[in-house]
Amino acid sequence: MSAHSRYNSPLTSRYASPEMAYNFSDDKKFGTWRKLWLSLATAEKQLGLEITQEQLDQMKANLENIDYVLAQEEEKKRRHDVMAHVHTFGVAAPLAAPIIHLGATSCFVTDNSELIMIRDALEIIIPKLAGTIRTLANFAEKYKELPTLGFTHFQPAQLTTVGKRACLWLQELLMDLRNITRAKADLRFRGVKGTTGTQASFLALFDGDHEKVEKLDDLVTEMNGFPSAFLVTGQTYTRKVDYDVLNALASFGATAHKIATDIRLLAHLKEIEEPFEKDQIGSSAMAYKRNPMRCERVCSLSRHLMTVVGNAAQTAATQWLERTLDDSANRRISIPEAFLTADIVLSLLQNIFDGMVVYPSVIAGRISQELPFMATENIIMAMVKAGGDRQVCHEEIRVLSHQAARQVKELGKQNDLIERVKNTSYFQPIVGQLDALLDPKTFTGRAPQQVDRFLKSEVEPALLPFKDILEKGLKKVDLNV
């Protein structure tokens, strides 16, 4: 069968980065199994078991020499993937065949390799998230003083600034960085625990020497780059770990969906757009269209990311006693898909933030439609200072506001409230102040100062641990697919 006659997941064939696709590949998975068997045998030799250096050398020389055809034949015959690969490794390293997987249960390689892949996937995700935050922070700094119409209920509200709105997005991304970093810091190795987690098989191997069994667990954990292992497990590590990690990724999915939705709304208003390539086509029928396809893809993939965590919750809830195998098939799908999806969403956000286009003239035009109504209180206060009666002034401005609103809503014309104020004799004492009273920057409150403080107090400290990697620059991804 050709590659085009079988289903291929778009997460790997279309979207995901090479590094994340490799992390959940067969080469990474089964290569890690062999490294785990090597570390187990190495530690067992150090602690006195009869294992020769030649056996270890032969294992080490064949870590990547995986005969997938033989492994597939063995699995079809034995109906057991781990034993199929034990046999296949033994064929590649015949001297070591008698001691491969010595004392271990299948979950020694399956669970520990999954923890390694989860750890390595997080090490891919976290710097990308930090880079995305930095790019958006630069955008917020650049536009911290640009007034824009704020919306509540997607109805015109008081003014804010473009940079302040970006800080609302940044705040949620910082929460995701905290959650995902914390999830990685909490990871522990399953280690060397045996069939039901009691380490009975290893205790037998070491003739009842508890200290050597504990040392074996510590050595294998250290060899595989983990600072610690779970002190107690069943046959598997607790599936709460999967739920914890995927919950952090799903929470990021909610953030990404919200940000991309906001940008889609702003694109509809023609205020802000995602990057649009010179030869990009928005519609096959409507040549003028500039669809927010990257943001739509973020929403689409984020929706999937937010649902995958449900699998982890169900799996954690339905573990029977020391373990049940109905988690296996589900986890083969849900864990890689969560990371692959989060990875491409991050790459998309980085691309969007890096080339996001702002249209100040459109923003100013929309402000000009709404600001006169917002400025009525300022006009009233100015008239009172000039000696006017507050109640009389309120009635005058109310009448003019309704007249201007009719022009906008019923006749589709521009908001002419200020012209009406200028042409009304009652307001002549303050006509000279109107430009100052209508300066949009006087309506944004402390938004620019809030941006400065937020970037300095929260964003900069959060990015400090990633200073070196961000200075080197993250690889750009071609997203024109």
> What is the set of active-site residues?
153, 283
Q: Are 16 and 343 in contact (CB under 8 A)?
A: yes
Q: Which value, in Å, is the radius of gyration of the alpha carbons in the chain?
A: 31
Q: Are 24 and 336 in contact (CB under 8 A)?
A: yes
Taking residue 78's Cβ as centre, other Cβ atoms within 10 Å add up to 13
Q: Which helix (H) or strand (E) holds 296?
A: helix 293-317
Q: Which helix (H) or strand (E) holds 82?
A: helix 81-92
Q: Which residues of 404-440 are buried (b: 16+ CB within 10 A; e: fewer)?
A: beeebeeeeeebbbbebbeeeeebeebeebbeebbeb
Residue 372's closest CA among 343, 403, 345? Answer: 403
Backbone CA torsion sign across 63, 69, 72, 76: negative
DSSP string, 226-255: -S-B-S--SSS--THHHHHHHHHHHHHHHH
Token match 């994340």: residue?
20
Residue 271's closest CA among 283, 262, 282? Answer: 262
Structure tokens at 247: 């919950």
For residue 477, give the 3-state DSSP assignment.
Answer: coil
Structure tokens at 330: 């589900």
Structure tokens at 443: 């309506």
For residue 147, give the 3-state DSSP assignment.
Answer: strand
- The contacts of residue 387 (CB under 8 Å, 6+ apart) are 429
Angle (CA) 95-96-98 rounded to 5° is 100
Structure tokens at 135: 């790019």
Q: Are 369 and 414 in contact (CB under 8 A)?
A: yes
* Inter-axis angle of helices 360-374 and 390-409, nearest 10: 140
Which amino acid belongs to residue 443?
A: F
The C-alpha atoms of residue 131 and residue 78 are separated, in whole angstroms, by: 47
Cα dist from 427 to 172, 400, 402, 405, 473, whole Å: 46, 11, 17, 19, 58
Please report the beta strands in 162-295, taking only residues with DSSP state E, as ranges in sequence order.
Answer: 272-273
Structure tokens at 385: 């200072």
